[in-house]
Amino acid sequence: DQQVKQNSPSLSVQEGRISILNCDYTNSMFDYFLWYKKYPAEGPTFLISISSIKDKNEDGRFTVFLNKSAKHLSLHIVPSQPGDSAVYFCAALYGNKLVFGAGTILRVKS
């Protein structure tokens, strides 16, 4: 039972363009959503988050959008840089428990 889904296993984007990573969830009880970035041989690193009572949160080049009616969130990276190449995990918080999606591999080509 996958409560958090990232349906795109990979995404390739040209440097300077926008990267859009998508995530869908099924449990309407999730009250917080987070994006993590992971490089090989390292642990996931927190990137940005959004409360379920908001629809947008911005931090520099990173913006997360939440559409509660569609149970969908997305991460926008503008402009994309080669250093952004990593695996991006969407995660949803229920109580103190994080439920992760399968991840999307982002490749930013220079």
Residues that bind other proteins (CB under 8 A): 32, 34, 36, 41-46, 49, 89, 93, 96-103
Residue with smaller CB distance to other proteins, 47 or 80:
47
Residue with smaller CB distance to other proteins, 11 or 99:
99
The answer to whether 23 touches 90, Cβ cutoff 8 Å, is: yes
Q: Minimum distance from CB of 72 to other proteins (Å)?
A: 19
Residue with smaller CB distance to other proteins, 83 or 97:
97
Gap between the terminal Cα atoms of the chain: 38
Q: Minimum distance from CB of 48 to other proteins (Å)?
A: 10
d(CA 45, CA 37): 5
The residues that bridge with 74 in the sheet, in sequence order, are 22, 65
Burial 34-48 (b: 16+ CB within 10 A, else e): bbbbbeeeeebeebb
Q: Minimum distance from CB of 42 to other proteins (Å)?
A: 6
Q: Minimum distance from CB of 44 to other proteins (Å)?
A: 5
